[in-house]
Amino acid sequence: MENIPTHAPSRGINHVGLTVPDLQKATDFLQKALEAQFVYDGLTDNDDPRKGADTEKQLGLSSGSMIIKQRLLRIGNGPNIELFEIKSEQQEQPVRLQDIGWNHISLYVDDINYAVERVKAAGGRFLSEIHGNSRHEDTENNASVYFQTPWGSLIELQSIPNGYYYPDDSEAETWIPAP
């Protein structure tokens, strides 16, 4: 099934961008809850904010918006997380699952109970108890649960220790981070 051409248009997800109200508090939470590791700062308090007409055009920001801080983190063996602290008069709250647009990231975990305890201790708020997954992920001992970060973004913890099953017309298998 893994039939990826030599010259594929994409090698995969490099990073997921996340705007947060306070970059350091978000970093502290992600490190405590999910063992995120610091990669680098792209913009610090010592740098001038990224702002102006060119920045607004390049990044689709509303007029007057400023990127104050930018940091890259890595969680386990998966895509990087790029954090932005942006000041804007037109800033809105995080989307919910039913809202249009990118609405959550999912982290594969081997021990979901351990992960839940770490997230709770760090200040994450779970939407429910651990529950089963949906079709094609509902093999034995599967588990899933969503939580909100202290700033309201939605993250899913998911474990599928006995793998997935696929329909006959599937073109690829699900990517799972290596242990």
- pLDDT of residue 24 exceeding 80, the answer is yes
pLDDT at position 7, please? 63
DSSP run (H or E) holding 114: helix 112-122
pLDDT at 100: 80
Task: State the chain's mean pLDDT as an integer.
Answer: 90
Decide: 74 and 39 in contact? Cβ < 8 Å: yes
If residue 116 lies in a helix (H) or strand (E), which one and from where to where? helix 112-122
Q: Two tokens at 32?
A: 């405590």
What is the three-class DSSP state of 113? helix
From the list 23, 8, 36, 16, the residue with the least C-alpha distance to 151 is 23
How many other CB atoms sit within 10 Å of the CB of residue 54? Answer: 9
pLDDT band at 2 (very low <50, low <70, confident <90, very high): low
* DSSP secondary structure letters along 24-40: HHHHHHHHHHH--EEEE
Q: What is the pLDDT of residues 62-78, one digit of tens each?
A: 999 999 999 999 999 88
pTM of the predicted model, to two decimals? Answer: 0.83
User: Average pLDDT of 130-147?
Assistant: 93
Q: Which two tokens stand for residue 126?
A: 């779970």
β-pairing verdict for 37-43 and 15-19: unpaired
Query: What percent of the chain is predicted at pLDDT more than 90?
Result: 72
Q: Which of the four pLDDT bands, split at 50, 70 and 90, describes residue 12?
A: confident
71-98: average pLDDT: 91
Q: What is the pLDDT of residue 51?
A: 96
